[in-house]
Every structure is written in structure tokens, then in C-alpha cells.
Amino acid sequence: MFLDPLLRNGKGLFLAYDHGFEHGPADFNEQNVDPSFIMDIAVRGGYTGVILHYGVASKYYDGKVPLILKLNGKTNLVQGDPISLQVSTVEEAVSLGAKAVGYTIYPGSIHEHIMFQEFANIRREAHERGFGVLLWSYPRGQMIKNELTKEIVAYAARLALELGADGTKIKYTGDTESFKWAVKSAGKVKVFMSGGPKASTEIEFLKQVQGVMDAGGSGVAVGRNVWQSRDPLKMSEALRKIVLDGYRVEEIARSFADRD
Ligand code: FBP
């Protein structure tokens, strides 16, 4: 299975750090603006993969954690239906020693067909080279009124199956029952939760992660809720326990209770 180098017991814990491209430095503070800070969390936090763009990877990636190279990106400086196109290649992923490539589609955008085609070409090349492909599937655009409904999230997940992805990164619907439908719709595609903006409390975020795992998800691909945390390594440990080691959130809640 193409994603095996990024999984432990079939589960994945990915640290995302492509935000400098997507949002600019607005998400960062004095510490986490430095990619070296993130590399350290990725290693010491026990992540099974780290997600970077080419520029950061080529200057900071040291091979200690499997790399997922994000191949497309857009800024949030443009209005209207989103389109995100390729800014690096599978070949460049190979040259950096990546273990998989990532790509975002925006189903519902008037430009969706362009991203579908570009992704299909990437998937073809990646699989020929034995690489896994992880698909960020984020319904967006004027037709999408609420990107978090059960139906829309499940549609996003299903597209990952239809397009030939090995794993997909989708938003959480908010509860286990509705997320189960997304996992089911994705079939054999591994489903990872996209973290989203920092949750109101750390325990709140960990409960979402538990909900994903209870729904049959394969893990998380998370950024802000880790490296914006007061203690990124403590948050990483909690994630590791829930996602990789099968602990229940209730078992680790106590150590977070007096922090929120
Ligand atoms: P977070 O866990 O911080 O939400 O990261 C997930 C992610 O998909 C990043 O990979 C990406 O940069 C960002 O969210 C995109 O966010 P959005 O398109 O929702 O603004």
C-alpha cells in the first residue's frame, strides 16, 4: 500500500506546516515562524509524517521524519472561487526524499475540473514511482454554503476514492456519527482529519480527534492545534496516544483539565 511508509499500524499522525503559503505568516508567532521549530516538534513529537512545501523542505528538511511534499498551493489574498495549481513536481518530491505527495482540490469551485485533471496527472506519476498521494478535499466556492455538513464532507471523501487518492484530508463534521458516513464513503482510502483553527480548548480538540478515530478514521493531519499550542510536545504526546496507541481521550484528559 502506497502510504505504508507514513503509517504505524495503519494509522497516521501528520504535522502540517504549509500555512505560510496558504495564510501567510498570520498564523505564526516568534517561535513557530521558524521552520526549524516545527522540524523539532515533528521529530520529538513522534509524527509519522511532516507536510511541507518545496521551499521550506529544500532548506530545512533533514530526513528524520517521512516527508509529504505539498505540490500545489494558493494564497488567501485572492477572492472568489478558489483554484490551487501545482508549484512543485513529483520529480522534486523524489529529489527531496519525500515518501508521498499532497494536493488540494476545491470541489464546488467553478475551477474544480482543472484541479481534478492536474491531480489525476500527479496521481498517475506518483503511483508509477511507487509514491502515495494524499488529497486535501475541501469543498469551497459560491455553491458551497456550509463545508462541514455530513453530505458535503462525505462527498469530499468520496471524491478522493473516485480520483484515486491513497489518503484524504478532510474537515471534521463535528460528531462521530456523521463522520462515519464520510469514512464509509471513502472506501479503502485512508481518512485523516484536518485540524482547523485552534480549538477553544485543548481537550475540545482531542475530543474531535477521538471522534474521528471512533468513526473509523486513520488519523490526523494537523497544524495549528499543535504548533500554536502552549506546549506542542504535550499536545503531540496526547495525539500520539489517541491516534497511534489506542488510548481514550478520557484517559489523558486529566493532564489537560487544569490548563484550559
Ligand atoms: P490545520 O490543522 O492548521 O487546519 O492545517 C490543515 C490545513 O489543511 C493546512 O494543511 C493548510 O495550510 C490549511 O489547513 C488550509 O486551511 P484553510 O484552507 O481551511 O484556510
Residue in 14, 19, 134 to alter for ligand 1 test, most ligand atoms within 8 A of Cβ: 19
For cell 469551485, what's the residue?
109
CA of 45 to the centre of ligand 1 (A): 19
How far does residue 22's CA lie from ligand 1's centre (Å)? Answer: 8
Q: Which residues form the pocket of ligand 1, taking CB atoms under 6 Å from any ligand atom? A: 16, 18-19, 22, 136, 138, 194-196, 222-225
Among all residues, which ones are annotated catalytic? 138, 169
Contact 241/252 with Cβ under 8 angstroms?
yes
| Mean of all residue pLDDT scores within the chain | 97
Given a contact cutoff of 8 angstroms between Cβ atoms, the answer to whether 155 and 112 are in contact is no
Q: In the structure, what pLDDT confidence band is assigned to residue 131 with cuts at 50, 70 and 90?
A: very high
Helical axes 176-185 vs 202-214, angle rounded to 10°: 50
Task: Give the tens place of pLDDT for each residue, 82-105.
Answer: 999 999 999 999 999 999 999 999
Distance from Cα 136 to the centre of ligand 1, integer Å: 9
Q: Which of 18, 193, 208, 226 to mutate to test the pocket of ligand 1 (most atoms within 8 A of CB)?
A: 18
Average pLDDT of span 127-132? 96
CA angle at 20 for the pair 171 and 201, rounded to the nearest 5°: 50
Query: Closest ligand 1 atom to the C-alpha of 169?
Result: 8
- 11 CA distance to ligand 1 centroid (A)? 20
In this predicted structure, what is the pLDDT of residue 259?
Answer: 58
pTM above 0.85, yes or no: yes
